[in-house]
Amino acid sequence: MSNRYEAFLILRAQGSEDSTKEIIERLTGEFTAEGAKVEQVQRMDKRQFAYAAGDLSSGYYVNFIFEADPTIIDKLLAKFRLDEDVYRQHYQRLRTKKTGATAEA
Which CATH number covers residue 66?
3.30.70.60
More confident call, 43 vs 16: 43
Domain of residue 29: give its range.
3-96
Report the helix count and the strand count for the chain, using DSSP H and E: 3, 4
Question: 22 in a domain, yes or no?
Answer: yes
Question: 101 in a domain, yes or no?
Answer: no
Mean pLDDT of the chain: 89
Question: 104 in a domain, yes or no?
Answer: no
Banded model confidence at residue 104, pLDDT cuts 50, 70, 90: low
Per-residue pLDDT, 31: 97
Question: 103 in a domain, yes or no?
Answer: no
Torsion 13-38-29-70 (CA) sign: positive
Which range has the worst mean pLDDT, 8-12, 33-37, 64-68, 99-103? Answer: 99-103
User: What is the model's pTM?
Assistant: 0.83
